[in-house]
Amino acid sequence: MYAARRERLRERCAAGGSAAALVSRPANVRYLAGAAPHGAVLLLGRDTDLLLHAGPLAGRPENERPDESLPTQVLPGTDGDPAVAAADLAASHGVDSLALEEHHLTVARHRAIGSVAPRLRLTDLGGAVEQLRLVKDEEEIGCLRIAAEIADQALSELLESILVGRTERHLALELERRLVDHGADGPAFPTSVGTGPNSGRGGHRPTDRRVEEGDFLSVCLGAAYRGYCCEIGRTFVIGTSPAEWQIELYDLVFAAQRAGREALAPGAACRDVDRAVRQVLDSAGYAEGLPHLTGHGVGLENDEDPQLAPSAMGKLDACVPVTVEPGVHLPGRGGVRIDDTLVVRPEADGGPELLTITTKELLAL
């Protein structure tokens, strides 16, 4: 599998006129090599590949061992930069041009590579690996499904516990503990818990504010499983019955999120999915202060291409997992955020596959 991915990249490089490529961005190395030990780089040669890294692999979880079929070279100590060592090696094997990830390598590392191999022509690999990563295979989607189950479980267990009086920080920590209990590598990103005036705010960092009766409580968490990140966000009401404004705001955000989910289809323009979400919110007078994104791709990184935004280019493909996560925050009052991870599927296969299945009814806890 990893060898096949490397083969696809090799073809792209050849087409781009580069004899060899050096992959340094960790998620890209992991995608092509099966694991990315700290600082590891992957050298993709004309017919042989090599993983170079500093420090031993010992003690890593099974699912973090690199592809057995991939030769590995460990650099002594942690002095050397594996990227520089790889370029040196390529040059010494008569490679004349090397494509680098200029969106990841620093200017200083790029210069060090140039000076160790002055006759090597350095080109830009650009986002070639990110492009390969866009459409997921069934094994990757399988990992995303498990990550989603884990996040759903952690969230459902939290809802069964007493919430009033507990702080945002403690709720976030408990969610992260439960993610690991259920087999996650760890949280896919820092868990966000917002109560009262903090609710509905995207990327809110948990504070010491305690949950109170009548609050909105919004939670956004993600599980990483074998490196694959899945995200879910829900908003609840604390106490017996939600207030009128809470019901109205919730119904609005729910409608916007549903519009986005229903717009997901192979061939749909990313900006059209974003527009479907925004139109619902705009029509209710919430055009201002909306988040820049209404969704994004997930995979080996929690926030990867495609972006669902007004400025986004490109179209969706089948087997591309994305989030749909509109939110509205009213300063001083709080707000609502609803976030699902779905896999784009053709109509014939039943349309978008919802991975995060926790109910989106407005629950009063």
Query: Where does this chain bind its own copies (CB under 8 A)?
Result: 55, 58-61, 77-79, 100, 102-108, 110-111, 124, 169-170, 173, 176-177, 180, 198, 201, 204-205, 207, 292-293, 311
Question: What is the nearest approach in angstroms of its own copies to the Cβ of residue 47?
Answer: 27
> Whole-angstrom Cα distance, residue 82 to residue 20?
16
Residues whose CB falls within 8 Å of the CB of residue 75, separated by 6 or more in sequence, listed in order? 52, 53, 54, 82, 85
Identity of the residue, 100 or 270, whose beta carbon is nearer to its own copies in the bound complex: 100
Identity of the residue, 178 or 261, whose beta carbon is nearer to its own copies in the bound complex: 178
Question: What is the nearest approach in angstroms of its own copies to the Cβ of residue 235?
Answer: 16
Residue linked to tokens 């009548």: 214
Question: Looking at the DSSP assignment, which residues form a beta bridge with residue 341?
Answer: 323
* C-alpha 219 chain-centroid distance: 17
Cβ contact 53:82 at 8 Å: yes
Question: What is the nearest approach in angstroms of its own copies to the Cβ of residue 272?
Answer: 19
Residue linked to tokens 């993610």: 179
Identity of the residue, 61 or 285, whose beta carbon is nearer to its own copies in the bound complex: 61
Report the chain's C-alpha Rg in angstroms.
23
> Whole-angstrom Cα distance, residue 365 to residue 363?
6
Question: What is the nearest approach in angstroms of its own copies to the Cβ of residue 76?
Answer: 9
Alpha carbon distance, N-terminus to C-terminus of the chain: 46
Enclosing H/E stretch for 275: helix 270-283
Question: What is the nearest approach in angstroms of its own copies to the Cβ of residue 312?
Answer: 10
Cβ contact 140:299 at 8 Å: yes
Identity of the residue, 173 or 265, whose beta carbon is nearer to its own copies in the bound complex: 173
Question: What is the nearest approach in angstroms of its own copies to the Cβ of residue 292?
Answer: 5
Identity of the residue, 78 or 131, whose beta carbon is nearer to its own copies in the bound complex: 78
Identity of the residue, 94 or 331, whose beta carbon is nearer to its own copies in the bound complex: 331
